[in-house]
Amino acid sequence: MQTQLIEREAVRAKFSVSIPATEVDKTYETITRKLAREVKVPGFRPGKAPIGVIKARIGKETLAQEVRDELLDIYYPQAVSELELTPIHVHFHAHEPVENQDYSFEVEVDLYPEFDLPKLEDIVIDTEKQAVSEEQINETVESLRRDYATLVPVERPVEPGDYLIIESLGETAGSTMPIDLEKVDESFAAQFLGKSSGDEIALTLDGPERKAEAQSETEAASENTEADNETENEANSPEDKGVVLNVVIRDIKEKDKLEVDDDFAKTLGFDSWEETTGQIRKSLQAQLDQETFEAQREEFIDKLTAESEFEVPKSLISHRKRHLLENLSQDLKKRGLTLKAYIEQLDENGERETFDSELDKTALTGAKRDLVLEKLLDQRGTIISNEEFNDALNHLAQHENKTVNRLRKDLGQDWLNNYRFMLTRDKAVRETLQELLGEDSATQDAAKEEVAAESADEASEESKAVEE
């Protein structure tokens, strides 16, 4: 075998491989004997038919294709090793070989980029930790008082903070829904103020956010409002003038809230109100710390990616674009739309160029990010133990309401392998960030389940790529 490097760029190479006729003939003989054991020839036992009969049975073209594939399988890896290349995508220019003749083929490959990460210690994380404020504690206390309040029927007009039962009229007549005026938008709640039981209201749902609030109150309301949302999506109206829902107030209740004292603390399972506020502060701080760390993690990845200079192979960008479009297609399908219709709408609105530009930018950033994080993982040599992996699977199984064995069976080995890789990569990022921040891993134990769920989503995407 002889190899010749024709072209070599940062992330692309082209080379040729030449194979002498003697090796071509040996491969023909090997493939023919292999097929002789597999192909049934009437009147002959498997493997006993004459070579000429086997060749006639298989067909000249099919045999040549089998030999070509075998030659590529044998000599391509040898050529890559000899030329010291690290391919991530390959395209062959290879015709069918002919017996008693030398054979050659050309190969174009995309290569892993060769680059060094910036000095990790020079990366400055600007996102700072936050302390729980008294306002946040007071909001949590008021939320608890609201949740544990006793609902008392009243014979008066609606006042701020009341709890209502309303019933829809018109085509959807009969569907009742609860409305907690403390949990909805002020302008939405204002439509009820001063109204009495039995009053009819043309309730305006001005836009997606307020419709979502109404949806959260009841499953019935959710179904009706979702239909309104789909109608608006299909219309593609630039101005959302709102949806009107005709309702009647059936019941008005006020909330008799508990006083903030030791009795309330005992209701919540604590001995004193001081202990209650201490636990509230602790829980809120743990949540803030987790949110801060995740923000710091994203900042670290963004800066590490931005400060790493190298060319990204086009095949990785194309693959990422396909993934993004597949995800978009699935999201649109849930809304009763197709990707084709969505693209056509972009064309009609003159937004296709902007969409394509953003898609290219997102795909490039994503592909570069993956290469950088893989480099970080390789540089650190991070590993994840079987115990850590099983812990993550347990968290994931609980989230999916399955046993670990059922989860393993449902997901398959390829998915699990990618899940383990994503967990390991994420561990490398977290450990590096903790070192930069001067923190130990124990401070992030509370985030373990969230990390497992996030990594599972990423692993799922990688698994889809493997299946493709």
Which pLDDT belongs to residue 464? Answer: 46
Considering the domain architecture, whether residues 316 and 453 belong to the same structural domain is answered as yes
How many domains is the chain partitioned into structurally? 4
Considering the domain architecture, whether residues 369 and 282 belong to the same structural domain is answered as no
412 within domain boundaries: yes
Would you call 372 helix, strand, or coil by DSSP? helix
Least reliable range by pLDDT among 196-200, 353-357, 440-444: 440-444
Over residues 409-455, the pLDDT tens digits come to 999 999 999 999 999 999 999 999 999 998 755 444 444 445 445 55
Residue 234 has pLDDT above 90, yes or no: no
Which pLDDT belongs to residue 204? Answer: 87
Considering the domain architecture, whether residues 277 and 335 belong to the same structural domain is answered as no
Contact partners, residue 352, CB within 8 Å, separation at least 6: 343, 346
Considering the domain architecture, whether residues 355 and 429 belong to the same structural domain is answered as yes
Q: Give just the sign of the alpha carbon dihedral 50, 51, 54, 59.
A: negative
Over residues 299-323, the pLDDT tens digits come to 999 999 999 999 999 999 999 999 9
Which pLDDT belongs to residue 216? Answer: 42
Which pLDDT belongs to residue 170? Answer: 77
The CA-atom distances, in angstroms, between 126 and each of 80, 207, 307 are 44, 35, 16
- pLDDT band at residue 240 using 50, 70 and 90 as cut-offs: very low
Which pLDDT belongs to residue 214? Answer: 43
164 within domain boundaries: yes
- pLDDT band at residue 46 using 50, 70 and 90 as cut-offs: low
Residue 338 has pLDDT above 90, yes or no: yes
- pLDDT band at residue 332 using 50, 70 and 90 as cut-offs: very high
Of the candidates 349, 356, 375, which has an alpha carbon nearest to the alpha carbon of residue 428?
375
- pLDDT band at residue 173 using 50, 70 and 90 as cut-offs: confident
Considering the domain architecture, whether residues 7 and 132 belong to the same structural domain is answered as no
Considering the domain architecture, whether residues 277 and 139 belong to the same structural domain is answered as yes
Which pLDDT belongs to residue 43? Answer: 60
390 within domain boundaries: yes
Say how many CA atoms lie within 13 Å of 229 toward its Cβ.
Answer: 19
Would you call 15 helix, strand, or coil by DSSP? strand
Token pair, residue 48, equals 């006993």
Considering the domain architecture, whether residues 171 and 42 belong to the same structural domain is answered as no
Considering the domain architecture, whether residues 317 and 179 belong to the same structural domain is answered as no
Residue 337 has pLDDT above 60, yes or no: yes
Distance from C-alpha of 83 to C-alpha of 76, rounded to nearest angstrom: 11
Of the candidates 253, 255, 229, 252, which has an alpha carbon nearest to the alpha carbon of residue 242?
229
Q: What is the average pLDDT value for the chain, to the nearest integer? A: 85
CATH of the domain at 103: 3.30.70.1050
116 within domain boundaries: no
98 within domain boundaries: yes
Domain containing residue 181: 151-256
Over residues 360-398, the pLDDT tens digits come to 999 999 999 999 999 999 999 999 999 999 999 998 899
Over residues 79-112, the pLDDT tens digits come to 999 999 999 999 999 999 999 999 999 999 999 9
Contact partners, residue 111, CB within 8 Å, separation at least 6: 10, 11, 12, 13, 85, 86, 87, 88, 313
Least reliable range by pLDDT among 53-57, 214-218, 279-283, 335-339: 214-218
Domain finish residue from 241, 256, 271: 256
Over residues 263-291, the pLDDT tens digits come to 999 999 999 999 999 999 999 999 999 99
Q: Give just the sign of the alpha carbon dihedral 409, 410, 411, 413.
A: positive
Considering the domain architecture, whether residues 291 and 143 belong to the same structural domain is answered as yes
Distance from C-alpha of 237 to C-alpha of 181, rounded to nearest angstrom: 29
Which pLDDT belongs to residue 442? Answer: 45
- pLDDT band at residue 249 using 50, 70 and 90 as cut-offs: very high
Distance from C-alpha of 162 to C-alpha of 151, rounded to nearest angstrom: 9
Which pLDDT belongs to residue 50? Answer: 65
Considering the domain architecture, whether residues 276 and 356 belong to the same structural domain is answered as no
Considering the domain architecture, whether residues 408 and 338 belong to the same structural domain is answered as yes
Over residues 137-151, the pLDDT tens digits come to 999 999 999 999 999
165 within domain boundaries: yes
Least reliable range by pLDDT among 4-18, 164-178, 375-389: 164-178
Considering the domain architecture, whether residues 59 and 87 belong to the same structural domain is answered as yes
